[in-house]
Structures are given as structure tokens and as C-alpha cells.
Amino acid sequence: MSQIFHRSTNTLSRATIFGAVFVVAALLWVAMEVQRSSYVTYAGVRKPQPVPFSHQHHVTGLGIDCRYCHTSVEISSFAGIPPTKTCMNCHSQIWSNAQLLEPVRASYRSGESLQWTRVNQLPDFVYFNHSIHINKGVGCNTCHGPVDQMPLMYQQASLQMEWCLQCHRAPEGNLRPRSQVFNMRYQQPTSANPVVVEGKSYSDQATLGKDLVEKYKVRSVLDITSCNTCHR
Amino acid sequence: MDEQHKVTVDAQRAPVIEPGYTFGSVTEKISAIVLTRPASNGWFLGFGVAFTLTMMMLYAVGYLVLKGIGIWGVTIPIGWGFAIVNFVWWIGIGHAGTLISAILLLLRQSWRNAINRFAEAMTLFAVACAGIFPTIHVGRPWLAYWLFPYPSTMGVWPQFRSPLMWDVFAVSTYGTISLLFWFIGLIPDLATLRDRSENRLAKIIYGMLSMGWRGSARHWHRYETAYLLLAGLATPLVLSVHTVVSFDFAVGIVPGWHTTIFPPYFVAGAIYSGFAMVLMLAIPIRKIYGLEDFITERHLQNSAKVMLATGLIVAYGYGIEAFMGWYSGDRYDAFTMWNRLHGPYAPAYGALLICNIFIPQVLWIRKLRTNPIALFLVSGVILVGM
């Protein structure tokens, strides 16, 4: 009886059995990387806006505070998108004929709001409150990234649950004094560049964070990682 | 195969295999079923019925995915209802296969050899059927993979303290081991089919599946070792899988379920219903394919005895449930029991007692234990009762 398979089949079958393990592992790894990529999360993607508003120009160039436009960030769950009137405070005087700003003037004339495209969008099943984060000493750029250097706004973080949790599980790593929350150039303390809070000088984040957790009465990790803290 | 020696040693009992067979004629007869027997009209009819039922199930599952588990009447998010009944029923059926393949192998019960392969196949299908229900009961089956612990973007692991999680491990281990056991056992047989088939395509397919089996002494030695090791691994599963399934109930605080009798009671029930299913399948198979010489009265009798024994354990379980309803002094437990006996589901509970306890007692009669038709009917009754 002739052989059904050529001799090379032996090697081939060993290689496929051995290789299958790696192929399966690689596929799982790729799936996990895709899930975390900006293709899925939109992190770093500049979405089209009715007016190409530059945070870099307004914050770094002109020195406008975050709260000038996002007025409710300290007292509300929602930071607030400014009405057209806020834009017109200045733009009725400067660049009042710029073609780029025509949608703003049109909105002002008609009273119809500008339809901005939301950039940092959390799912509806997540309860998120800006004011509590601000008041416990989480800086704007801790989550939003270097907004003062963004000519066009994009989302910095993945906004995936593991990203939320890496801070909720160890909040002391990201807290700063309340006075520094809106400081886009704030640096965490080092021995060369200490941070002073109420006369006490801190040269590392570990000690500062621990003291701030206590000072601002940040609730226990058990509390802030409980399911219904965010999924109410 | 030392069955033929057994025949002479054990002349008092019905033989495991009818006399007059050699290795060659056994192989000839069994491989002919696969290789040369033409597909009859009866086969197509059976296949057609099974296919139609499968399509109906897929339609029902599709409707469920579109509409949600409310179509089962499940209106609270923590209730499984219909799904858990089916899950437990199916996963229980599978246990007979594992018991036959693993425990009876370790106990050197050579009569198992005639029925172990199809019992293992039955186990695999039962596990597959059982797997459907937890998957679809979650309501969003396309997210059922969340049950597996993998480094997800949610940054949390599944709840390892939940019996549902234990189910995932118990059932997936069970499925894997059963598949390996079945496949490794099949390798020499697949090689036989490879050598006997005339068709080139069949030769290639069987050749690949038999993984280069040549039947050398070294092959047999490794085969026996691997088979024994797998039997050792599968043995605890016979007990552990349904124990874990019973934890779905017993770990909760629902009155009537929160009891320690559940694990042994479930395992006994699983083997009980599993053997009923083995008989339901074996009796028609031996008739249709003319295998009465291989699946003999001895097999039927032994299966019936296993059913009788495990059935009594199940009966004890029912008894203890009722007893605890009274003895616990807990009014909720007591009400649960009272409600079973007198409430809206009383007819169902009565039918359960009749089907699972009273009717199977006829198996004490030797004549009925050896009568295929009677056994088939009793098995059917047990499966309905379960």
C-alpha cells in the first residue's frame, strides 16, 4: 500500500501544531491592542468643528483661564460649553470681520447655538461629575492633556474604564493643591522644584498626594472603586 | 481486549460480547457501519427531523437575541428561569459519559468498552447544548466573553466569588477534557478507518485525524499512558462539575436551595439522568445497526443498576429537602416545601416524584432490567422527570 502522505507531512504537522499556539496568542494580542488603539477610542483624533477653535491660541497665547468659558466646572457635573455671547465678548471687537468666525457671528445674529462636536464623550451609563474632581485637586490637564498646546481639540486619554480606575485605585498619584488645578503648566514636586502647600514644602508626589488625600477628605479607594460610584 | 476470557470466567452473568468473535470480525463489523453501509431512507428521515429541530432552535435563539430573555417570562434581572433548568439538565446528561469513560476505566470495568465511545460523544454534545443556555441567558450573548478573565479595557476581573464564574471554569474544563478523552480514544480507531477506507479523500481525512498512528508497541504504550492520565484527570470532574453547578443554587440564599445536600444530590442526579440518556441512545442504536452482540444484556443491566442506585440517592435528596423544610423551623423554607406540594406547581412536583422515584423502582425486577423496550420507556420517564 502506498503512503497517503509525503514524508514532509511529519514536519508540517509538528510545525502547525506548535505554530498554532503562537498564532492564537498573536491574534489575541492584536485584538487587545486594537481595542486600546485610537481607532477604537478616538484618543488623539481631531474631530471636525464648525469653527477651528484653538485652545493653544486662547490659553497659551492670550492667557485666558479655563473657567472664563467653562464656567460651571467647579460647581456642576458638566464643565459647560460657552454660549456664543462669550465668544462675542471679544470677537465683536477683534477679528470682527474674519471669514473664519462667520459661523460665530451667524449664531449670534440668529440666536441658534453653534453645534460643536463633542470631543471627550463618556458613555451614558457612566456618571461623571467635574466639580468633585476639581475640588479634590485633580488638575484639568491630568485628564484632558496639554490643552494649552492643542491648536485643535482632541481627546488625550482612552476614556476606557481601566484608565479611570488606574487613578481611582491610587488617587494620591495625581492630586495637586486646589490652587494649581487650573494651572496648565503645573509640575509634580521634585527635590529641585518643590511644591509648597500652606507653608509646608513637598519634594515628592508620594508625600504630597498622601497629605492631600487626607486634607481634601478623598474617600477611600474601596468607596471610589465601588461599581455604583460611577454606574449609578 | 480480554472480554472473551471474561465470558468463560463469568459464565453465570450475561456476556459482555457474544461468543464467536475475533478482533478481526469485531473490527469488520463496526467499521462497515461507517465505511460501507449505505445511508438508508430511515437515516435521511432521522437526519431531517434532527435538522428541522435544530433549525427551530436557531430560530428560537434568534428571536431571543432580538427580543431579550423576557420571552421566557424572566422579568427580573437576577433570575435565570428557563435557562438554568436546561443548563442543569444538559450538563447532568453529560456526566454518564465521563463516568463510563473515566471511573469505569480506572475500576477496570471492561464492559464499558462497548458503550464508552458513544457515551463520550453524547457528553460532548450535552456540554455543547448546556453551554448555549448560560451564554444566551446573559441577555447580551455577544458580550458573553466577558465571563472569561482576560485583561480587558474595563480594568476589572470577573467576580471570582460568583458561582457563575466557577461554572465557566467547570464547564470549559469539562468540555476540554471530554473532547481530549474522546479524541485520544478515537485515534487508533481512526487509523483503522484510514486503512480500510477505499476513497482517497476519506483516507486523507482519517489520516490527518489519526495523527500518524501506526499501531507500533511504542504507540500503544504511549496511548495507554495518555488515556490513563486523562482518565485520572477526568475522574474528579465527574464529581466536581455538577458540584459547581449545584453551587449556583446552594451558594444563594433562596429558601429551599441554600442547603449542603445539593452537591452530592446533584451529582447523583446527573449520573442518573446521564445513564437514562445512554440507554435512550444505546437501545435504538444497537437495534438499528445490529449491535446486539456488542451492546449486550449485560450492558443494559449494568446501566439499569447504576440508575437504580443513583435514583435512590436522588430520592434521598428529595426526602432530605422535604425533611429540612420542616426541621429547619424556617418558615420560608417550610413555605417553599408546602408550596411545592400544594401550590401552583404541585402537578409538576408530583410528576417529578412519580417519574424520578416511583416508576424507576420497577428496575428491581430482573426481567425488566434486561428488556430493552421497558428500559427505553423507564429511561424516557426519568429524563422527563429530571
Given a contact cutoff of 8 angstroms between Cβ atoms, the answer to whether B245 and B170 are in contact is yes
Assess whether B215 and B297 both reside in one domain: no
* φ, ψ of residue B289 in degrees (nearest 5): -95, 10
- Domain-embedded: residue B136: yes
Distance (Å) from the alpha carbon of A229 to chain B's nearest alpha carbon: 15
| A162 → closest Cβ in B155, B203, B212 | B155
Comparing A27-36, B75-84, B244-253, the range with the smallest average pLDDT is: B75-84
B269-320 confidence digits (pLDDT tens)? 888 888 888 888 888 888 888 777 788 888 888 888 888 999 999 999 989 8
Domain holding B294, by residue range, is 253-386
Assess whether B53 and B38 both reside in one domain: yes
A35 to B154: CB separation less than 8 angstroms, yes or no: no
Assess whether B227 and B257 both reside in one domain: no
B134-183 confidence digits (pLDDT tens)? 888 888 888 888 888 888 888 889 889 888 889 889 888 888 988 988 89
> Residue A192 above 70 pLDDT?
yes
Distance (Å) from the alpha carbon of A91 to chain B's nearest alpha carbon: 43
Question: CA-based angle B128:B132:B137, to the nearest 5?
Answer: 155
Can you give the residue ranges of every domain in chain A? 8-36, 55-61+70-81+120-230
> Residue A218 above 50 pLDDT?
yes
Quote the number of domains for chain B.
Answer: 3
The three cell numbers of residue A138 are: 485633580
B1-45 confidence digits (pLDDT tens)? 444 444 444 445 666 777 777 777 778 777 887 877 778 888 899
- Domain-embedded: residue B234: yes
- Domain-embedded: residue B11: no
The three cell numbers of residue A70 are: 467653562
From residue B25, give the alpha-carbon distance in Å to each of B21, B22, B29. 6, 5, 6
- Domain-embedded: residue B280: yes
The structure's pTM equals 0.80
Assess whether B100 and B244 both reside in one domain: yes
- Residue whose entry in the numeric block shows the C-alpha cell 454606574: A231
Q: Of the residues B251, B281, B306, which one is the last residue of a structural domain?
A: B251
Assess whether B319 and B368 both reside in one domain: yes
- Domain-embedded: residue B324: yes
B328-337 confidence digits (pLDDT tens)? 888 888 888 8
Assess whether B323 and B352 both reside in one domain: yes
Assess whether B100 and B239 both reside in one domain: yes
The three-class DSSP label of residue B46 is: helix
Distance (Å, rounded) from C-alpha A116 to C-alpha B329? 66
Distance (Å, rounded) from C-alpha B276 to C-alpha B371? 14
Distance (Å, rounded) from C-alpha A130 to C-alpha A135? 9
Assess whether B279 and B214 both reside in one domain: no
Write out chain B residues lying below 8 Å of A1, CB-based: 195
Burial class (CB in 10 A: 0-12, 13-18, 19+), A26: exposed
- Quick check: ipTM above 0.90? no
Assess whether B380 and B366 both reside in one domain: yes
Distance (Å) from the alpha carbon of B166 to chain A's nearest alpha carbon: 21
Distance (Å, rounded) from C-alpha A220 to C-alpha A231? 17
Assess whether B91 and B207 both reside in one domain: yes
Residue range A12-19: average pLDDT? Answer: 88
CA B257 to chain centre: 23
Assess whether B28 and B145 both reside in one domain: no
Q: For residue B14, what pLDDT is reported?
A: 64
B155 to A166: CB separation less than 8 angstroms, yes or no: yes
- Domain-embedded: residue B73: no
Assess whether B119 and B207 both reside in one domain: yes
| A5 → closest Cβ in B152, B195, B207 | B207
Taking only Cα atoms into account, the Rg of chain A, rounded to an integer number of angstroms, comes to: 25
Chain B interface mutation, best of A24, A30, A162, A226, highest count of B Cβ atoms under 10 Å:
A162
A163 to B194: CB separation less than 8 angstroms, yes or no: no
